[in-house]
Copies of this chain bind each other. A is one copy, B any other.
Amino acid sequence: MSSPDTLSAGMRSLRYVDALREAVAQEMRRDPDVFCFGLDVDDHRAIQGSTQGLLDEFGPDRCFTTPLSEDAMTGVAIGAAMAGMRPIHVHIRMDFLMLCMNQLVNMAAKAHYMYGGSVKVPMVVRSMIGKSWGQGAQHSQGLHAMFMHVPGLKVVAPSNAYDAKGCMIAAIRDDNPVIFMEHRLLYPIEAPVPEEPFMVPFGRARHMRRGDDITIVGISNMAVECLRAASLLEEVGLSVDLIDPVSLVPLDMETIVASVARTRRLLVVDNAWVSAGAGAEIAAQVAEQLGGGGPLAIRRMGFAPTTCPTTPALEAHFYPNPLTIAKAAHALAGGAGGWEPDPERARLAYQQAFKGPF
């Protein structure tokens, strides 16, 4: 598998948001059955630019806004998909998926099975996770765990522009409903991305860094935050095996288990609540497969077990960050207590990564 780290022929540095846009545009060119709809996809803001140009190139039949009716619009996507089209339904916030849970869980996930294989539901549900600047309770949730729970849905969470493009193309070509989660703060981050269409296959985790002391799994934007944490840990001599699962369903447990089999230490960092979350699933599978073989150090991090507050004074403590991740990993690896990475250096590393607003 090629990777987002190295710039080779036919690649340019592309922002995450542009990678998404390019993937959709290329697929719409290739396949007239692909269309893109959802609130505000066709306005001048174009979902932060991620649908820019689609209306001009493909016209209002293939790129259109909807009434504020998320539930029915999800049903519409399902019906169109059953008829052989390939809808991409866009939500500007993952929180709004709660309005269409019935269609997603009771229809999309189940149709292929409960109709005995006689229909397919090839649709992509795009949604963005918001963070910071007072997004607050209802504009900040990462709810992927709910979708991981229900058989029949695929769930993808690319953390870089390369995977964003490759996963989007794979999602559009997939014959199943795919919950495609994006993170608002990743949108401006660049990575080398091939110009040609390509697929990042689901179910293959990406090794972002190789190391021997501790396995860290970082989900969605947390993969990026873990990368910064890993560089802080390097300074105290801890080498991190950093894994980005890329897709959560299917989930590449093989790569994760093989890593923890070596390190016997696992830290999962999620951009979501911990309880019954993606981290719980990963930790449980690791424990099931490796627990019999001797001591195993496991820890999960994620949102604080609270609603997300708007005030930055509290929000700062709501999310894991490179500092708290590094410290947790250090402790898990048996590091001597009291290590305090220089917060300035942690913040610096962090800001270098995110050029976007906070």
Is A299 on the interface with B (CB-CB < 8 A)?
A: yes
Q: Does A284 make an interface contact (CB < 8 A)?
A: yes
Query: How many copies of the shown chain assemble into the complex?
Result: 2
Is B294 a contact partner of A298 (Cβ separation < 8 A)?
A: no
Q: Is the CB of B291 within 8 A of A281?
A: no
Residues of A within 8 A of B (CB): 71, 95, 98-99, 101-102, 104-106, 109-110, 113-114, 136-138, 141, 143, 145-146, 148-152, 249, 272-273, 275-281, 283-284, 286-288, 291-300, 305-307, 309
CA distance A123 to B284 in the complex (A): 32
| Residues on B with beta carbons closer than 8 Å to the beta carbon of A299 | 288
In the docked arrangement, what's the CA distance between A247 and B119, Å?
39
Most buried by B among A152, A291, A295: A291
Per CB-CB distance, the 4 closest pairs between chain A and chain B, nearest first, are A287-B287, A113-B307, A283-B284, A280-B280
CB < 8 Å neighbour of A278 from B101, B137, B276: B276
Please measure, in the bound complex, the distance between the C-alpha atom of A309 and the C-alpha atom of B278, giving whole angstroms: 26
* Contact present for B273 and A149 (CB under 8 Å): yes
- Among B98, B109, B306, contact of A113 (Cβ-Cβ < 8 Å): B306
User: For residue A300, which residues in chain B have a CB less than 8 angstroms away from its CB?
Assistant: 284, 288
Determine the chain B residues whose CB is within 8 A of the CB of A284 once the complex forms. 279-280, 283-284, 287, 298, 300
**Cα–Cα, bound, A291→B294 (Å):** 8
